[in-house]
Amino acid sequence: MDNNQLGVQYMQDGNLEEAAKAFNEAINEQPNNPIGYINFGNVLSTLGENEKALKFFQKAIELDENTAAAYYSAGSLFFNNEQFDEAKKMFEQAIKKGLESSDNYFMLGLSLIQLNQGKLALPYLQRAVELDETDAEARFQYGLCLAQQQFIDEAMGQFEKCIELAPNYSDAYYNLGVSYAFKEDAEKAISLFNKALEIQPDHHLAGHAKKLIEQA
């Protein structure tokens, strides 16, 4: 096992100090290999050392501008810093450099949503779901985006699949309930709001929506 693999193992175990040491060794052994810089940057990002982390991702890109993982890691850092336009650019670059991962399409979709470009986000969220059909969060966000673009039937299908994958996903029940309310099926909507409240008693949106329907 080389130092990069060893460092990844330490990261998975939550031992960031040993991970940093291993990645530092990897960089010393192969200073022209971008992987060590990406991995070290990911440790720094996890520790909240964002400016330092970005320098490592930039170094990886300098060494090999086709290292897609460096763009993805930089995009994630920008997203967490709420620099959504910068995040979008990085995730787009990652795709151009060949990163066909569900996570990258998902994060690009989320970045576009944050930039109030929901219509543009739809195909990326759809692709994320296609690449990983078991990702409940991706299905939920795709459903939410569909609903916001008035594709109610398609959104309901995604919320239902989300619930199949994650039976305790209270927000999925709530949004499915909103969809049924939109279709004027009050009984079904209330049952779904009740389910959301059963899972999460302090789900204020579900409680409020239920009251509104009952009063109506």
| pLDDT recorded at residue 185 | 92
- Which is more confidently placed, 172 or 16? 172
Position 158 pLDDT exceeds 90: yes
- List, in sequence order, the alpha helices (H) in the chain: 3-12, 16-29, 34-46, 50-63, 68-80, 84-96, 102-114, 118-131, 136-148, 152-165, 170-182, 186-199, 204-215
With pLDDT > 90 as the criterion, what percentage of the chain qualifies? 91
Q: What is the mean pLDDT of residues 158-171?
A: 97
Residues 112 and 200 in one domain: no
| pLDDT recorded at residue 51 | 93
Position 1 pLDDT exceeds 80: no
Q: Which CATH number fits the domain that encloses residue 133? A: 1.25.40.10
Mapping DSSP to helix (H, G, I), strand (E, B) and coil, where does residue 2 land?
A: coil
Residues 50 and 114 in one domain: yes
Q: Tell me the Ramachandran region of residue 165: left when phi exceeds 0, alpha when psi lies from -120 to 50, beta otherwise.
A: alpha
| pLDDT recorded at residue 4 | 87
Residues 170 and 71 in one domain: no
pLDDT in tens, 203-216: 999 999 999 998 88
| pLDDT recorded at residue 216 | 80
Range of the domain at 61: 3-155
**Among the listed residues 173, 180, 182, 165, the one whose alpha carbon sits nearest the alpha carbon of residue 200:** 173
Buried b (16+ CB within 10 A) or exposed e, 59-78: bbbebeeebbbbbbbbbbbb
Residues 68 and 166 in one domain: no
Count of domains in the chain? 2
Mapping DSSP to helix (H, G, I), strand (E, B) and coil, where does residue 18 land?
A: helix
Residues 44 and 74 in one domain: yes
What is the chain's mean pLDDT, rounded? 95
- Which is more confidently placed, 12 or 68? 68
